[in-house]
């Protein structure tokens, strides 16, 4: 991967140069600022990127720089509140799905995005946030992309239990589950087992030594004070505040053109991703056959060409 130069947070201001901007966010627990960065300029296609986690960062989206500018697409990197370049208040009450939805809408308004040009892409946890945003603010959107995320956490947990876990080495799985049962997931042994037995198969299908720098930085900057309360401590399913989240029955209410992106080796059931597209009134589906949860990295050409085709088709070419 090429190297990328990013804004140094020293001397922060609302307008930071290079397309970067700090946006003020109002919450019930105080006012804060979140970081965004615009790349490109297009009157009809303005794509806001919602990263995963919760509590991860925009950084693993950096491969978009290799594809979207050439296609003429305008897009926005964005670190959600609690993440990396944005404010990171230690206030547990902030880590709440409806508040995150409101934050996204404040960011949208500050950036001047609207129904004639506003596309929203959510990956992983960002996909949950994108679905909730589309249900809460349908009038604001022109198009939606749900990337590597099913519409039901109970379905995700079932897939992990019935498909992913049985395929793992039994001894490694037993040790992983023992560490989880003992609430000892901070133990270095936990990730030492998860990486070769799970991550390299279903999160990013490369040996960890070959993971690109943007991915390594995103993992290094993940904020556990956001991640653990919402996702839970286990990496083989969700057990936090999101444990019972399920919007399968509400997909028919999302009436804007929507692309679901799944991957054959994903942590999320690829069949569920395809079924979501059929349930959406204007749904389309893209399968990345060589990809995993981070298909924008390990099946990059399929992912990017499919995404660009959707954006240009809905937003207009030329």
Instruction: Determine which one of 124, 147, 234, 292 is catalytic.
Output: 124
Q: Is the dihedral of CA 201, 205, 210, 214 positive or negative?
A: negative
- The confidence score (pLDDT) of residue 17 equals 62
Strands 46-50 and 143-147: unpaired
pLDDT at 111: 98
Q: How far apart are CA 188 and CA 260, in angstroms?
A: 35
Separation between Cα atoms, residue 55 and residue 84, nearest integer Å? 8
User: Is the separation of the CB atoms in 23 and 16 below 8 Å?
Assistant: no
pLDDT at 234: 87
Residue 243 main-chain phi, psi, to 5 deg: -55, -35
Give per-residue pLDDT as tens, 236-256.
999 899 999 999 999 999 999
Beta bridge mates, 259: 145, 284
- What's residue 16's pLDDT? 60
Reading the block at residue 240, the tokens are 């936090």
| Cα 156 to Cα 159: distance, rounded to the nearest angstrom | 5
Q: In 3-state terms, the chain is what percent helix, strand and coil (to 5)?
A: 45, 20, 35
- Is 266 catalytic? The answer is yes
Q: Where are the beta strands (DSSP E) in the chain?
A: 15-17, 20-27, 30-39, 46-50, 74-79, 118-123, 143-147, 258-263, 283-288
The parts of the chain modelled with pLDDT lower than 70 are 1-17, 318
Residue 124 is among the residues annotated as catalytic for this protein: yes
pTM of the model: 0.94
Non-local CB neighbours of 139 within 8 Å, separated by 6+ positions: 115
CA distances (Å), 255 to each of 69, 135, 141, 245, 272, in order?
28, 9, 10, 21, 19
How many residues would you count in the chain?
318
Map residue 30 onto helix, strand or coil: strand
Q: Of these residues, 272, 293, 298, 299, which one is catalytic?
A: 293
Task: Map out the domains of the chain with their CATH numbers.
Answer: 15-156+240-315 (3.40.50.1820)
Instruction: Tell me which of 79, 87, 102, 266 is the catalytic residue.
Output: 266
The pLDDT, as a whole number, for residue 73 is 97
3-state SS class at 189 = helix
Nearest alpha-carbon partner for 59 in 219, 280, 208: 219
Q: Output the CA torsion 287→49→243→177 (10° steps).
A: 70
In angstroms and rounded to an integer, the radius of gyration of the C-alpha atoms of the chain is: 19
Q: What is the pLDDT of residue 7?
A: 28
Task: Give the separation between CA 285 and CA 156, rounded to whole angstroms.
Answer: 18
CA 153/CA 293 separation, integer angstroms = 15
What distance, in Å, lies between the first and last C-alpha atoms of the chain? Answer: 29
SS3 152: strand
Catalytic annotation present for 221:
no
Q: Residues 162-181, buried b or exposed e (16+ Cβ, 10 A)?
A: eebbeebeeeebebbeebbe
């Amino acid at each position: 991967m090429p190297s990328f130069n990013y804004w140094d947070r020293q001397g922060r201001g609302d307008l930071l140069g290079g397309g970067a901007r700090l946006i003020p966010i109002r919450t019930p627990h105080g006012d804060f600022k979140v970081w965004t960065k615009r790349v490109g300029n297009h009157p009809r296609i303005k794509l806001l990127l919602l990263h995963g986690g919760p509590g991860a960062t925009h950084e693993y989206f950096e491969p978009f720089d290799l594809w979207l500018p050439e296609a003429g697409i305008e897009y926005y990197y964005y670190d959600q509140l609690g993440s990396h370049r944005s404010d990171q208040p230690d206030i547990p009450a902030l880590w709440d799905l409806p508040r995150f939805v409101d934050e996204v809408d404040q960011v949208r308004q500050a950036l001047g995005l609207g129904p004639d040009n506003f596309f929203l892409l959510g990956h992983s946890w960002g996909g949950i946030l994108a679905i909730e945003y589309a249900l809460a603010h349908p009038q604001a959107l022109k198009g939606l992309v749900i990337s590597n995320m099913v519409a039901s956490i109970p379905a995700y947990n079932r897939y992990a239990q019935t498909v992913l876990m049985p395929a793992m080495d039994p001894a490694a799985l037993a040790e992983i589950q023992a560490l989880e049962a003992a609430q000892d997931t901070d133990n270095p042994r936990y990730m030492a087992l998860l990486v070769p037995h799970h991550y390299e198969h279903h999160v990013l299908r490369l040996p960890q030594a070959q993971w690109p720098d943007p991915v390594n930085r995103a993992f290094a900057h993940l904020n556990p004070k956001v991640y653990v309360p919402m996702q839970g401590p286990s990496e083989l399913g969700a057990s936090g505040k999101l444990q019972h989240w399920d919007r399968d029955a509400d997909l028919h209410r999302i009436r804007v053109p929507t692309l679901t992106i799944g991957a054959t080796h994903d942590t999320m059931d690829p069949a569920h991703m395809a079924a979501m597209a059929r349930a959406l009134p204007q749904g389309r589906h893209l399968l990345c056959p060589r990809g995993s949860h981070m298909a924008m990295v390990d099946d990059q050409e399929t992912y990017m060409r499919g995404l660009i085709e959707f954006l240009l088709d809905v937003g207009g070419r030329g």
